[in-house]
Structure 1
Amino acid sequence: MSGFVRRVVTGHDENGKGVVISDGPAPYVHSIPIRPGYFSTDIFRTFETPALVKTHQEETTLGPRRQLPTKGGSVLRINHFPPEPNGNEHMDVQTSKALFESLGNAAGSSFEKNGRHPLMHRTETIDYAIILSGEITMLLDDSEVLLKAGDILVQCGTDHAWTNRSNAPCVVAFILIDGQYDETLQNIVQNQEK
């Protein structure tokens, strides 16, 4: 399977009539050489809340890879997770950090702190994860949940990782919305990071 995702974006003509301004492959597909078979296709980004609706929307996904939305923004992406029968156990702390750096989130890796899984990370976001095909396991600090096609997860800024323990790829749509921890949770997170 390739990273091709057909993306249709609408806008307005000079009279305010709705028109299609682009229809074709989403232009930004990110792969990671140290994680063969994984790729992520950025579909669209917003940069503020409320999102600015324009007559003709420029391309929002180009530029360096950014795992997270901008402050007040959001991002929609489709991720393809290949089977990982060994669950990436071979990955060391430095490789984990390099992987998150390639995603544009160098500080994201929490593997060194918790040691549960090399892809453990925490983001100050609300994420909607919609399993489009296959199945995937979401790991938390000391529990896990198996998600299958049609399931939807709401990820509320927890430390987590994804692992595909099946024998087939899993495709997940992610919508990440910029968030902010409340004061109590912020204090807890800061204490964990010490």
Structure 2
Amino acid sequence: MRPHKENAVTAMVRRVVTGHDANGKAIVLSDGPSPFIHTTPLRPGYVSTDIFRTLETPASIAGETAETTLGPRRQLPTPRGSVIRVNVFPPDRGSLDGMDVTTSSQLFESLGNPAGHTYAASGRHPLMHRTETIDYAIVLDGEITMLLDDSEVVLRAGDILVQCGTNHAWSNRSDAPATVVFVLIDGKYEDDLAQRLPSGHG
């Protein structure tokens, strides 16, 4: 598996992938830094490392799994798929100073989800967005605040949040980076809920 990096600023995550040999014996296929790391000059200090993707449900299990994470950066899972990644969020102060709607839009375009941002509609936080997914967020280190439309929850190391397709943002109000594992699972809004959401769901 050949490493791919969008630039030299990295936060290495060790990734071990297992599989099977020609006789069906369980083996380790790879053990090393996860090969896809995304950063952007639009948000200094932000690092997102894709670990693995499944591309369908049920997920295909091959003897020797092909690399699933290589670019371009895609925030969302593929239809009926999933993605696991590790994000490092720098403090808002210094990394989001003066971010306007145009820059927010460019940031989400760099994440591979140009239609996802909702900052223009809400004005609550430059990183407000909505994805039609179920997300498991596991805080590994630091403190981060999860914003909803008009409420918020502070999360610390060891906390786990389940995001059910809601409009939200991640805000680091501390003075140190926060590290969060995300698992995004492709989903679909039920018709009743879809009718209550803003046009286009953000």
TM-score, length of structure 1 as denominator length: 0.96
Partner of residue 130, structure 1: 138
Partner of residue 119, structure 1: 127
Q: Take 2:59 and 2:65, find their aligned partners in 1: how far apart are those partners? A: 11
Q: Take 2:65 and 2:201, find their aligned partners in 1: how far apart are those partners? A: 39
1:103 corresponds to which letter in structure 2?
Answer: L
Stretches of structure 2 lacking an aligned partner (at least 5 in a row): 1-8
Partner of residue 28, structure 1: 36
Partner of residue 183, structure 1: 191
Q: Take 2:63 and 2:200, find their aligned partners in 1: how far apart are those partners? A: 45
| Equivalences for residues 1-194 of structure 1 within 5 A | 2-85=10-93, 88=96, 90-191=98-199
Q: Take 2:124 and 2:95, find their aligned partners in 1: how far apart are those partners? A: 11
Aligned-pair identity in percent equals 64
Q: Take 2:196 and 2:103, find their aligned partners in 1: how far apart are those partners? A: 27
- 1:188 deviation in Å? 1.2
RMSD over equivalenced CA pairs, Å:
1.6
User: Structure 1 26/87 Cα, relative in aligned 2: closer, same or farther at 3 Å?
Assistant: closer
User: Structure 1 86/184 Cα, relative in aligned 2: closer, same or farther at 3 Å?
Assistant: farther
- 1:167 deviation in Å? 1.0
Runs of at least 4 residues off by over 2 Å: 85-89, 190-194
Report if aligned partners of 2:10, 2:37 keep a CA contact under 8 Å in 1.
Answer: no
Count of residue pairs brought into register by the alignment: 194
Q: Deviations over 1:134-172 (max 9, x none)?
A: 000000000000000000000000000001001111000
Report if aligned partners of 2:18, 2:26 keep a CA contact under 8 Å in 1.
Answer: yes
Q: Take 2:97 and 2:177, find their aligned partners in 1: how far apart are those partners? A: 18
1:74 corresponds to which letter in structure 2?
Answer: S
Report if aligned partners of 1:89, 1:118 keep a CA contact under 8 Å in 2.
Answer: no
- 1:88 deviation in Å? 2.6
Report if aligned partners of 2:45, 2:95 keep a CA contact under 8 Å in 1.
Answer: no
Q: Take 2:117 and 2:169, find their aligned partners in 1: how far apart are those partners? A: 10
Q: Deviations over 1:64-114 (max 9, x none)?
A: 000000000000000001112368351111100000000000101100111
Q: Take 2:171 and 2:82, find their aligned partners in 1: how far apart are those partners? A: 24
Q: Take 1:102 and 1:57, find their aligned partners in 2: how far apart are those partners? A: 27
Stretches of structure 1 lacking an aligned partner (at least 5 in a row): none
